[in-house]
Amino acid sequence: MRIKKAIVRASVVASIGAMAAIAPAAPALAGTPPTCMQTVKHAYNSVTVYNRCGLTSFNIRIVWRAAPDSGCYTISPGSSRAYNAFGAPLGSYDKTVTC
């Protein structure tokens, strides 16, 4: 009886491992940041994001039109971070998302 249970257990573990190996990774979900995160657009492809969320840090990404998006950055409470797309003259700010 022990051998039978061990064989069944091993085959279940192997099946789960095989499914995990071939399953594609789920894409990261980008959400809307809370209203206490403020994005201010400046002239010529630049923005500043302010975190006015009390004690909560947020990971955000700037999405640009016709320019590469920013990386995912953490902004601590009371802090700000400036972003730009100076290398893409046709780029313009699209939105700020969580990451």
* CA–CA separation, 36 and 30 (whole Å): 17
Higher confidence at residue 4 or residue 95? Answer: 95
Q: Residue 7 above 60 pLDDT?
A: no
Is the Cβ–Cβ distance between 85 and 70 less than 8 Å? no
Is this model's pTM higher than 0.85 or not? no
- Domain 27-98, what architecture? Sandwich (2.60)
pLDDT above 60 (res 5): no
Q: Which of the pair, 55 or 28, is modelled with greater confidence? A: 55
> Is residue 30 predicted with pLDDT exceeding 70?
yes
Give residue 46's pLDDT: 93
User: Do 23 and 66 meet the contact criterion of CB atoms below 8 Å apart?
Assistant: no
Over range 44-58, report the average pLDDT: 93
Q: Where are the domains of the chain?
A: 27-98
Residue that the structure tokens 């947020």 belong to = 58
Nearest to 92 by CA among 66, 74, 69, 71: 66
